[in-house]
Structure 1
Amino acid sequence: MEWLLLFFFLPFVLTMMFFNWLEEKLFKFRDREKLEEGEILLHENKFVEAQLFFTEKLNHFPKSSRAYFYRSKANLMLKNYFSALYDIEQSISFDNTVGEAYVIKGKVLYKLKEYDRAFLEFDKADWFFRSENPETLRWRGMARYCIGQVENAINDFNKAVLLGDEDAAYILRTKFEYIKKRG
């Protein structure tokens, strides 16, 4: 009896899995084609226009992790921190394999003075980048400094400097005055 049920339901399940996979691939293809204009707006520092553009795209594609990601970048630059946090969390919930998303989330949390949580997000991003992204190391160092892990912060800044990050070198040279002014 069990074999009979398996015989009838297995093709159904496999068919549904195939169509779900196909739908996901088609949405990614359509999103890629239609988000370029918004990316250009972000690149040209037209953040209000970019925010409106990605909001419109999300009305049509409510599960687009990339649209949420780019709208969070626009909101971050507009200092709409809570909106940026919501957007980046939505982006991560749809696609948690983008290291840059954790950097954005960490920056938002840092701006909200939630340094412990920011550190964790920068640490996740560093894992994705395998300690080869100087911006991630610098921001993680800044978060570490704010939660009292000064020696580890210095190590992060030194790693970032070795990767060519001039901002990290400036922070080390000025003995953390830059962080004290921002924090």
Structure 2
Amino acid sequence: MELLIVVAFFGYIYYLRNYADLRTKSEKEEENLKEGIRLFQTNQIHAAFDFFDQRIKTRPNSSVAYLYRARCFKEQNDFQAAMNDLNAGLSYDESVYGLHLEKGKLLFRNNMYDSALKALNKAIFNAGDQDPEPYYWRAMTRQQLNQEEEAQKDYKKEAEITEAGKHILIRDLSVKKPF
């Protein structure tokens, strides 16, 4: 009887550690990449690039690593390599809104407004109302497409999110602690 109680207890602990963690795959990835993200955020682009490049070599299906390596490429003005990484990251996980946002921004920069609008729509869908930046870029894109009324709605939504303080501090994912 005691053995059964001990096995049940450890089984429950195992369940909590492995199955009760409600974070998404990308949120867990971001937790594992926080050192490289910190390097990028402190503008240590070359060190961050090396970190994410190594991570992609060891774990090539890490969509968040592709996102940050793409951002490093973008900082180095290698826009084609950045786009390649964004597309690779999206092939592994389309729910990371940062991938869609960065892709939309790159397409906007290259005057590909219809494609940028599609990418930014996906960014907004995946981000919900947690980040004002996708709305800002979608409004800019809509202005280029002469969709003034829709652009004004997006600017208004951006202002509402900013004013409400709903935007998240880490822009790519709302990092949740494990259970």
TM-score, normalized by the shorter chain, greater than 0.5: yes
Deviation at 1:29, TM superposition (A): 10
In the alignment, does 2:142 pair up with 1:125?
Answer: no
Query: Which amino acid is the alignment partner of residue 144 of structure 2?
Result: C
- By how many angstroms is 1:79 displaced? 2.1
* 1:76 equivalent in structure 2: 74
Kindly state the Cα deviation for residue 37 of structure 1 after the two structures are TM-superposed.
Answer: 2.2
Normalising by structure 1, we get a TM-score of: 0.68
CA contact (8 A) 1:109 1:117 kept: yes
Contact 1:48-1:78 at 8 Å conserved across structures = no
The question of whether the paired residues in 1 share the 8 Å contact of 2:26 and 2:96 is answered with no
Distance 1:110 1:28, change over 3 A: closer
Once residues 154 and 71 of structure 1 are traced to their aligned partners in structure 2, the CA distance between those partners, rounded to angstroms, is 33
CA distance in structure 2 between the partners assigned to 1:33 and 1:71 by the alignment: 16
Hey, what does 1:158 align to over in structure 2? Answer: 156
Give 1:59 shift: 1.6
5+ unaligned residues in a row in structure 1: which ranges?
A: 1-26, 166-183
Stretches of 4+ moved more than 3 A in 1? 27-34
TM-score (norm 2): 0.69
Comparing 143-152 and 47-56, the one that deviates more: 47-56
Q: 1:138 aligns with which of 126, 136, 139?
A: 136
Q: Which runs of 5+ in 2 are unaligned?
A: 1-24, 164-179
Between 1:130-139 and 1:80-89, the stretch displaced more is 130-139
How many residue pairs get aligned? The number is 139
Q: Return the index of the structure with the highest Cα Rg.
A: 1
Q: CA RMSD in A?
A: 2.3
Partners in 2 of 1:121 and 1:103 — Cα distance? 7
Structure 1 residues 127-172: Cα deviation after superposition (integer angstroms, max 9, x where no partner): 122344311110000011111111211111111112227xxxxxxx
Q: Which of these residues, 112, 115, 118, is aligned with residue 114 of structure 1?
A: 112
Q: Distance in 2 between matches of 1:148 and 1:41?
A: 39
1:91-148 CA-to-partner distances (Å, cap 9, x unmatched) read: 1100111122211111111122211111111111111223443111100000111111
Query: Is the Cα–Cα contact under 8 Å of residues 72 and 88 in structure 1 kept in the other structure?
Result: yes
Give the equivalent residue in structure 1 for 2:100. 102
Q: Which position in structure 2 is the counterpart of 1:62?
A: 60
- Tell me, yes or no, if the aligned pair for 2:129 and 2:161 is still in contact at 8 Å: no
**Structure 2 CA distance for partners of 1:142 and 1:28, relative to 1, 3 Å:** closer
Report the AA paired with residue 78 of structure 1.
Q
The verdict on how the C-alpha distance between 1:56 and 1:116 changes in structure 2, with shifts beyond 3 A counting, is: same
Q: Give secondary structure in 2 for the equivalent of 1:163.
A: helix
Is residue 76–residue 84 contact of structure 1 (8 Å, CA) maintained in 2? yes
